[in-house]
């Protein structure tokens, strides 16, 4: 096996040691990272990602354990050795760019070379090259960084981190402050630095959408490295055991529920198996289709087509009968959610009462049809009031459910418990869909 770029050996990090607010931010972390790997440290805020990254930079002395970089214990370095390590072996990019606002863009990039005694000409040439490479035009070199967009400033920071040609590049939430287009540019830069420049990249993020960039993902929680997942879609640097790169259902579930523990994911997998007739591959396709429907770019006919098409031809593979049912229910839900949306908008207008009545009548009819519910006029009357109260936000989901199940004497509709449950559940689906409209900017790229 190749030598490790970084080896973390049973490392503990304690903040405020000996004080009343002593805190173990990292608990016995052990890990190996190999040269030219792209590793993502992933987990919710406060789990210790930045702490682990800064220990690699030589910035936080471990309470116990060791941090080896290229086989050397960096916390055994003399101050001079540590300086050299931080100048030449490792580079870092922060979320907040950390550029010096009083000097030019070019000087910002070239600055780290001063400490390595490079000539002005050499510094400027190298700085310019890197800036061009990351898409910063020459005319901006003499400007102050504050004149640039966030995306440009971050690309300057990336250029600066690379100016001394370090073997290892660290990045702490580098796109956390950027809009999605700039974020993509910057993420592509890291990919290129890893693939073309063959540098080891270790990037911190709490956003699951970036996980596909990494060779391996380190999942962290509460200061513990919970598991390491191999990204099967990337050719691995580290040799993996047979079977380790197969994209399992658990990996797919991880994308859907990024912060869940492996055990919870296994539970979800079984629940899917016993409650759904379709598997995860089909479920993913179905999710994409529903997104299209919500955006308005897929109509009922196209949806029906997808549902019926065999799984082998990228469809869902449902029977004719099942497809018609699913399409009808899906579009029914959408239609009535629009009613809820309108209802909420019109709640402030003068003829609200009339609209409410019409809306509730239609909704009741649909609920009855959907659930196949028999009701007495008295039950309908109570249902009608409860629906109006729930849509109007006067009662919550549990109140609605209770009111459906309670005896008439207590002001309830006295539906059988199962029907009360179905009514409440369907009501919440409608409200969930109707309460949130897709923003115009989320429609960019969708064909109409």
- Which residues of the chain form contacts with Mg ion (CB under 5 A)? 50
The item of ligand ADP, Mg ion, none sharing an interface with residue 25, based on CB under 5 to 8 Å by kind, is: ligand ADP
Enumerate residues 7-36 that contact ligand ADP by CB under 6 A: 15-16, 23, 25
Residue whose CB is less far from Mg ion, 155 or 206: 206
The item of Mg ion, ligand ADP, none sharing an interface with residue 392, based on CB under 5 to 8 Å by kind, is: none
| Residue 234 beta carbon to ligand ADP: minimum distance, rounded to whole angstroms | 24
Residue whose CB is less far from Mg ion, 219 or 359: 219
67/267 Cα distance (integer angstroms) = 36
Alpha helix ranges (H) inside 276-376: 280-295, 300-308, 320-346, 352-371
The item of ligand ADP, Mg ion, none sharing an interface with residue 47, based on CB under 5 to 8 Å by kind, is: ligand ADP
Among 403, 434, 433, CA closest to 419: 403
| Residue 262 beta carbon to Mg ion: minimum distance, rounded to whole angstroms | 23
Q: Note whether 65 and 7 are within 8 A (CB).
A: no
Tell me: does residue 298 bind ligand ADP (CB under 6 A): no
| Residue 15 beta carbon to ligand ADP: minimum distance, rounded to whole angstroms | 3
- Judged by CB under 6 A, which stretch of 42-50, 117-125, 313-321, 420-428 contacts ligand ADP? 42-50
The item of Mg ion, ligand ADP, none sharing an interface with residue 45, based on CB under 5 to 8 Å by kind, is: ligand ADP
Residue whose CB is less far from Mg ion, 4 or 50: 50
| Residue 46 beta carbon to Mg ion: minimum distance, rounded to whole angstroms | 8
**DSSP code of residue 218:** E
| Burial per residue of 224-254, b for 16 or more beta-carbon CB atoms within 10 angstroms, e otherwise | bbeeebbbeebeebbeeeeeebeebbebebb
244/233 Cα distance (integer angstroms) = 12
Alpha carbon 371 to its chain centroid, in Å, reads: 35
| Residue 319 beta carbon to ligand ADP: minimum distance, rounded to whole angstroms | 47
The partner residues of 170 in beta bridges, in order of sequence, read: 92, 202
CA distances from 354 to 208, 233, 350, 382 (A): 46, 56, 9, 18
| Residue 218 beta carbon to Mg ion: minimum distance, rounded to whole angstroms | 14
Structure-token pair, residue 19: 């004080």
The item of Mg ion, ligand ADP, none sharing an interface with residue 23, based on CB under 5 to 8 Å by kind, is: ligand ADP
Q: Note whether 26 and 202 are within 8 A (CB).
A: no
Residue whose CB is less far from ligand ADP, 204 or 383: 204
Among 224, 219, 221, CA closest to 253: 219
| Residue 207 beta carbon to Mg ion: minimum distance, rounded to whole angstroms | 12
Residue whose CB is less far from ligand ADP, 47 or 148: 47
The item of Mg ion, ligand ADP, none sharing an interface with residue 238, based on CB under 5 to 8 Å by kind, is: none
Q: Note whether 307 and 320 are within 8 A (CB).
A: no
Q: Note whether 286 and 329 are within 8 A (CB).
A: no
The item of ligand ADP, Mg ion, none sharing an interface with residue 102, based on CB under 5 to 8 Å by kind, is: none
Q: Note whether 197 and 165 are within 8 A (CB).
A: no
Residue whose CB is less far from ligand ADP, 204 or 237: 204
Enumerate residues 47-76 that contact ligand ADP by CB under 6 A: 47-51
Among 1, 5, 2, CA closest to 170: 5
The item of Mg ion, ligand ADP, none sharing an interface with residue 46, based on CB under 5 to 8 Å by kind, is: ligand ADP
Angle subtended at Cα 417 by Cα 414 and Cα 423, rounded to the nearest 5 degrees? 85
Phi-psi region of 424 (alpha: psi -120 to 50; beta: other; left: phi over 0): alpha
| Residue 8 beta carbon to ligand ADP: minimum distance, rounded to whole angstroms | 14
Tell me: does residue 419 bind ligand ADP (CB under 6 A): no
Place of tokens 């609209």: 355
How many residues of this chain bind ligand ADP (CB under 6 A)?
12
Query: How do beta strands 168-172 and 200-205 pair?
Result: parallel
| Residue 324 beta carbon to ligand ADP: minimum distance, rounded to whole angstroms | 48
Residue whose CB is less far from ligand ADP, 24 or 87: 24
| Residue 49 beta carbon to Mg ion: minimum distance, rounded to whole angstroms | 5
Residues near ligand ADP, by CB under 6 A: 15-16, 23, 25, 43, 45-51
């Amino acid at each position: 096996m190749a030598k490790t770029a970084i080896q973390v050996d049973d490392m503990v990090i304690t903040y405020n040691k000996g004080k009343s607010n002593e805190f173990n931010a990292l608990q016995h972390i052990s890990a190996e990272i190999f040269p030219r790997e792209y590793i993502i440290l992933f987990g919710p805020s406060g789990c210790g990602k930045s702490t682990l990254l800064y220990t690699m930079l030589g910035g936080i002395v471990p309470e116990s354990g060791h941090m080896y970089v290229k086989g050397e214990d960096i916390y055994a370095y003399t101050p001079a050795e540590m300086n050299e390590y931080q100048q030449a072996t490792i580079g870092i990019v922060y979320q907040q760019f950390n550029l010096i606002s009083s000097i030019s863009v070019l000087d910002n990039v070239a600055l780290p070379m001063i400490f390595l005694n490079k000539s002005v000409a050499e510094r400027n040439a190298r700085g310019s090259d890197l800036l061009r490479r990351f898409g910063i035009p020459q005319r901006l070199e003499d400007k102050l960084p504050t004149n640039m967009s966030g995306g440009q400033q971050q690309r300057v920071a990336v250029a600066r981190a690379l100016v001394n040609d370090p073997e290892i590049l660290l990045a702490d939430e580098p796109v956390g402050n950027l809009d999605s287009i700039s974020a993509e540019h910057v993420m592509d830069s890291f990919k290129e630095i890893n693939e073309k420049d063959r540098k080891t990249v270790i990037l911190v993020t709490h956003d699951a959408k970036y996980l596909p960039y990494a060779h391996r993902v380190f999942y962290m929680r509460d200061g513990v490295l919970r598991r390491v997942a191999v990204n099967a879609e990337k050719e691995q640097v580290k040799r993996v055991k047979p079977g380790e790169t197969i994209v399992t259902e658990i990996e797919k579930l991880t994308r859907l529920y990024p912060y869940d523990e492996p055990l919870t994911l296994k539970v979800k997998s079984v629940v899917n198996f016993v409650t759904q007739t379709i598997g995860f591959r089909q479920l993913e396709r179905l999710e994409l289709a529903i997104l299209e429907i919500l955006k308005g770019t897929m109509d009922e006919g196209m949806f029906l087509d997808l549902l019926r098409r065999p799984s082998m031809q990228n469809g869902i593979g449902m029977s004719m009968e099942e497809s018609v049912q699913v399409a009808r229910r899906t579009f029914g839900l959408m239609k009535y959610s629009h009613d809820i949306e309108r209802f909420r908008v019109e709640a402030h207008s003068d003829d609200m009462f009339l609209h409410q009545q019409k809306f509730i009548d239609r909704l009741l009819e649909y609920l009855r049809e959907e659930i196949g519910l028999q009701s007495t006029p008295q039950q309908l009357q109570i249902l009608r009031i409860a629906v109006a109260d729930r849509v109007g936000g006067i009662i919550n989901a549990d109140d609605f459910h209770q009111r459906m199940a309670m005896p008439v004497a207590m002001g309830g509709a006295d539906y059988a418990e199962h029907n009360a449950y179905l009514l409440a559940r369907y009501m919440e689906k409608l409200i969930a869909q109707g309460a949130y409209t897709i923003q115009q900017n989320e429609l960019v790229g969708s064909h109409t």
